[in-house]
Amino acid sequence: MKQIPLGVRLQDRTIFTSFLPGDNGLALASLQRMATGFTDRVYLHGPAGSGKSHLLQALCAAVGGSAYFPLGQLLASGPEVLDGADQLSAVALDDVHLVIGDEAWERRLFNFYNDCESRGTRLAMAAALPAVGLGIQLPDLRSRLSSMTHFALRVLDESQQREALQLRAAQRGLELPDETVRYLQRRFARDMSTMQALLDRLDAASLAEQRRITVPFIRQVTGDPT
């Protein structure tokens, strides 16, 4: 029996209830259904910050005996990093586009897809583009990935992003007033990855100093003179 890989540690609080769907409700519902045992093959695609990684990690957080593989971080480990993963209950492969064009990786993904299908392993993938736009060289792999249920994810608009940040703050026991979130959106990059990392930083500083997250406190923590 092959050794089962553990994948990569999930980010804190990256769960379904901390995901604000916005226009991505169908993708959320599909992965929630998969978490209950439905064995469809789900493929997410969309720009950075649209929530692909969050949903994949939320799936793994909800399913015992699962693993999350951000392939961009695992390139140096080679395709062998997936050996034995088909024995898990669910597998999530992120940043699939970063390994496309490599013959060894494409062959491994093709075999891995087939192994998961034969074992009934739940499989979700995410990439920047739909499968037909990835430039996959191996025809059989292109056929397999194209057959997966595709969902195009959209980035949250400004008001949805404020709601998402306030939701994540509330789950941490923090109050994040509208004026505070608007300040963050004006002064920092508006992609959700940047905003969530900044919220993590402010959360730690707020806990250490026992202070509320206000605009003056943000200026102090970030060194923003304005």
User: Is the confidence at residue 56, as pLDDT, over 90?
Assistant: yes
DSSP element (H, E) containing 41: strand 41-45
Q: Which of 170, 103, 98 is nearest to 134 (CA)?
A: 98
Q: Which of 26, 16, 122, 107 is nearest to 66 (CA)?
A: 122
- 124-183 pLDDT, tens per residue? 999 999 999 999 999 999 999 999 999 999 998 888 888 888 888 888 788 888 888 888
* Residue matched to tokens 């059989």: 140
Residue 134 CB partners (closer than 8 Å, separation 6+): 96, 97, 100, 127, 142, 145
Question: Using a CB cutoff of 8 Å and minimum separation of 24, what contacts does 194-198 make?
Answer: 195/161, 195/165, 196/165, 196/168, 198/222
- 91-112 pLDDT, tens per residue? 999 999 999 999 999 999 999 9
First-last CA distance in the chain? 60
Q: Which of 49, 98, 59 is nearest to 77 (CA)?
A: 98
Rounded distance between C-alpha atoms, residue 226 and residue 218, angstroms: 11
pLDDT band at 187 (very low <50, low <70, confident <90, very high): confident
| Higher-pLDDT residue of 76, 112 | 112
